Amino acid sequence: MTLALPSEARGTVRRGISPRTALAALALALIVALALAAPLIAPFDPLDQDLLALNMPPGPAHWLGTDHMGRDVFSRLVIGARTTLIVGFGGALVAFALGAGFGLVALSFGRWAEAAMFAVIDLVRALPDVLLALLLIVALGAGAGPVVIALGIAFAPFFAYVARATFHRESVKDYVAAARLFGGGRLHVLRLHLAPNLAGGLVTQAAILLPRCVVTESVLSFLGLGSSPDAPTWGRMVADASRYIEVSPHAILAPVIAIIVLTLSLSILGEAVRRGLDPLREMRGGM
Amino acid sequence: MAAVTLSRAFPRLLARLLPVGLALARMAAQAVGIVVIVFLLARLIPGDAVDVKGLEGDLTAAQQSELRHQLGLDRPVAEQMAAWSWRALHGNFGDSIRFGRPVSGMLATAVPETLLFTGLSFAFGLLLAAGVAVGAVTTGNPVLRGLVNFFNVWSVALPTFCVGVVGILVFSIWLNWLPVFGSLVLPVIIIGIDSAGLIVKPLYEELAEAATSAHVRTARAKGLPGWRVTLRHLLPTAVPVTLALSGLVLTSLVAGTITMEVLFGLPGIGSLMLNAIHGRDYPVIQATIVVVAVALVAMNAATDLLHRLIDPRMSS
């Protein structure tokens, strides 16, 4: 007697962790560990300028060389990992809370509230994320805090859409009709029967959006709007080094490779989470 | 008689026109909403255009309030918004604070550059995605199928500015093939591949499904040559999907265009926007963001209408 799963789903469920996913998890763990241990392992102050050692290639003194201001690239990379991770993950977290919260409130108050509040969300969505983030940063000022808020607002609509899609998908099912027959109101049904179904979709959405948040953070930093000059981020390191690309390619390649490894492993892990939580609905998508 | 046919034809005509009207109304509402959002956020900024000027020159308090009155900054926000929108509709976006030139003139030089760049990238991306997807479906070639996944991962995981930096390093500096700045070749290829990656996988899946459908099998069974089956029976099924996905591509083109213009020093609207942000040139910031966002909304509405027009499934 075996459980009769569709053949495709059985393969997905029983496959376990692929080597690709394991490698991605390892890379992410390494980056997080480096970021956590940064103050201990950074051999130099990331802001210290050594004017006698400008644009030094990688060597025993400076493992990844120095940039155009004589700052140690390795130290900046590991210290910068902290800002990059905190702002990227923080943005995703704010987006999750804001989008799911707004969506649930909109769904709790009946059809008109839903229509009106989702019209606002559609409007926010009409602005591309980087443009919206740029606008918010102009209004709030540059820095880590405003970037987290900007990312949160720019990516919140996706979570609200997931909440609405789950709500409407589940509310036509028999168990919801049964709960309604027993006299459960919209709020009761939402809280007791729909909220548990929501978790999977929201977590999947978070896993998919996390790399996009990190990418957007690095784009904003690259454009000079991500953080203050005394807090190095990977995007800002790329921007700073881009004018000296000919004399010190290592200063630009180090953060570029770091960003690519981070976003690549995050998106591989996001895909794994999506498959793991959502094995039967491969193609449903987030909208 | 005529009245009867008219009364029959009218609801049908209405049924066809109503979605078009709704789409246009939605577009207009979104455009108005964008102007409101941009205006309200611009009001959050501490200090206004006059304060910025006051910091640089030595304006007396009386001169400042005089200037504020001239610029209409002492009016209610809603009134300013209406006045600004009315002038913007006539192509007047005010003057740049930093350069004292009309913003419309700056837009007039920047917009064609950006349109050329985004147009080329969009076309290249679409052709690349269609070519790879059609090739992978019709030949079943594992290399082409691998490319479908490769482009997909590329656009998800590789930030365009990182690819741009590596591209400059490899092609301009190490291989010495292309000039670093001003050339469109490298940025168009980068954004093109990025755009292709967004749509190539769904396109491939749709085509793979269409390839097994009855009308394609019939076409093959009656002995049509392979290229004819592809051209007349397979490709038309890809058009609606491509149109549906092009909104996604257009949206991602905005971010890609801004970063590429900054990285490669292209004098388009993205560079204009970024320079204005760094120089706190608010009239320019406001104008560039509104122009880009409204253009995007308009293009999305246009592709949506086109989609409805050619895909009868959409009109139900």
Contacts of A215 in chain B (CB under 8 A): 159
Query: How many pairs of residues across A and B have Cβ atoms under 8 Å apart?
Result: 110
Give the A window 216-275 contacts with B, CB below 8 Å.
216, 218-219, 222-225, 235, 238, 242, 245-246, 249, 252-253, 256, 259-260, 263-264, 266-268
Q: Which of B73-82, B91-100, B157-166, B252-261 is least confident? A: B73-82
Angle made by CA atoms A113, A117, A118, in degrees to the nearest 5: 115
pLDDT digits (tens, 9 = 90+) for A149-204: 999 999 999 999 998 888 888 878 888 888 878 877 777 777 777 777 888 888 88
Residues on chain B touching A134 (C-beta within 8 angstroms): 258, 273, 277, 289
> What residues of chain B lie within 8 A of the CB of A136, using their CB?
41
CATH of A30-38+62-278, one of 3.40.50.800, 1.10.260.40, 1.10.3720.10, 1.10.760.10: 1.10.3720.10
Give dist(CA B170, CA B164) in Å, integer: 10
Residue/partner pairs of B291-295 with CB below 8 Å, 24 or more apart? B291/B107, B291/B111, B292/A131, B292/B254, B293/A126, B293/A127, B293/A128, B293/A131, B293/B34, B293/B38, B294/B31, B294/B34, B294/B35
* Residue B47 confidence (pLDDT): 59
Contact B119, B184 (CB under 8 A): no
Q: Are A66 and A72 in contact (CB under 8 A)?
A: yes
* Chain B residue nearest residue A126, CA to CA: B297
**Total residues found in chain A within this entry:** 287
The tokens describing B216, both together, are 């394609």
CB within 8 Å: B285 and A138: yes
What is the pLDDT at residue A25? 92
- CB-CB contact of A136 with A149 (8 Å): yes
Q: In angstroms, rounded to a whole number, what is the distance separating the alpha carbons of residues B190 and B72?
A: 44
Q: Do B289 and A211 touch (CB under 8 A)?
A: no
pLDDT, position A11: 45
Query: Which DSSP category does A56 fall into?
Result: P
Q: Which residues of chain B does A216 touch, with a Cβ-Cβ cutoff of 8 Å? A: 255
CB B138 within 8 A of CB B230: yes
Task: Check CB contact under 8 Å for B289 and A267.
Answer: no
User: How many C-beta atoms surround the C-beta of residue B216 within 10 A?
Assistant: 19
d(CA B45, CA B127): 43
Q: Name the residue among A246, A252, A260 with its Cβ closest to that of B158.
A: A260
Two tokens, residue A230: 């005394």
Residue A147 to residue A133: CA distance in whole angstroms: 7
Q: What is the CA radius of gyration of chain A?
A: 23
The mean per-residue pLDDT over the stretch A24-48 comes to 86
Please indicate whether, in this complex, the C-beta atoms of A139 and B292 are within 8 angstroms of each other. no
Test the A interface: residue of B155, B165, B252, B261 with most A CBs within 10 Å: B165
**Could you tell me if A244 and A3 are in contact, meaning their C-beta atoms sit under 8 angstroms apart?**
no
Residue B91 has pLDDT above 80, yes or no: yes
Domain B112-315 has CATH 1.10.3720.10: yes
For position A9, what pLDDT does the model report?
Answer: 46
Among the listed residues A250, A30, A219, the one whose alpha carbon sits nearest the alpha carbon of residue A133? A219
**Sheet strands (E) in chain B:** none
Residue B313 has pLDDT above 80, yes or no: no
C-alpha–C-alpha distance, residues A257 and A264, integer Å: 10
Q: What would the pLDDT profile of B112-127 be if each residue is shown by its tens digit?
A: 999 999 999 999 999 9
**pLDDT tens for residues A224-274?**
887 666 778 898 888 888 888 887 888 888 899 999 999 999 989 988 888
pTM of the complete model:
0.84
